[in-house]
Chain A
């Protein structure tokens, strides 16, 4: 990771650790019934196929 990015990440981490707990609140799930990917994958078989394709896509991204 580049030094400039790392310094930003470290700064954000420090802010997160000091964050006032009042900034956090629980919320209900989004009002939509689900994201479009979840809607498009209808069963476990389709989910398994998608997972394999996703694995390949991430592998390609690493090159």
Chain B
């Protein structure tokens, strides 16, 4: 079930559109996916759009501060926030955001990256598959690796407040 909270439009003279945020609770308790993007004609947030803001730092800091205040407001609940690297452009944005600002962010967040893995079966030639025969990918979280090649993006990024 999605839990909607008020959204904030980022006002910027250099932006081509305002961004709006929504944090939704899907399946995992205490884990909230943060989606952001412009509002389309149908009134829904388009979280797949390419972010064209010229001041990308403003976008970075807005995303992080929005998440930060949400976590602070629910500090006693131990929530964590996830951002979906749904396409390479978004994933690169998040990766760069966490990697380049790691020293500053270390004071505020613990950061985790999530990759998708598939299991090699005992026969050594096949992989685990779902009922339709497609590869059964499973998400595996790990401590965000600062040494990781920037081209080797995580699929999903998560963070929680520091103690």
Please list the residues of chain A having a beta carbon within 8 angstroms of any beta carbon in chain B.
1-2, 5, 9, 12-13, 16, 19, 23-32, 34-38, 40-41, 46-47, 50-51, 53-54, 56-58, 60-62
Q: Which chain B residues have a beta carbon within 8 Å of chain A's beta carbons?
A: 2, 4, 6-9, 11, 20, 22, 24, 26-31, 33, 35, 37, 39-40, 42-48, 65, 68-69, 80, 82, 84-86, 104, 107-108, 110-112, 114, 116, 137-144, 155-156, 158, 160, 162-163
Whether the Cβ atoms of A38 and B7 lie closer than 8 Å is no
Contact for B33 among A1, A37, A60, CB less than 8 A: A37
Q: Is the CB of A29 within 8 A of B45?
A: yes
A25-B20, A37-B82, A61-B110 given; 7 more Cβ-contact pairs under 8 Å: A26-B6, A32-B35, A41-B28, A50-B28, A53-B140, A60-B142, A61-B111
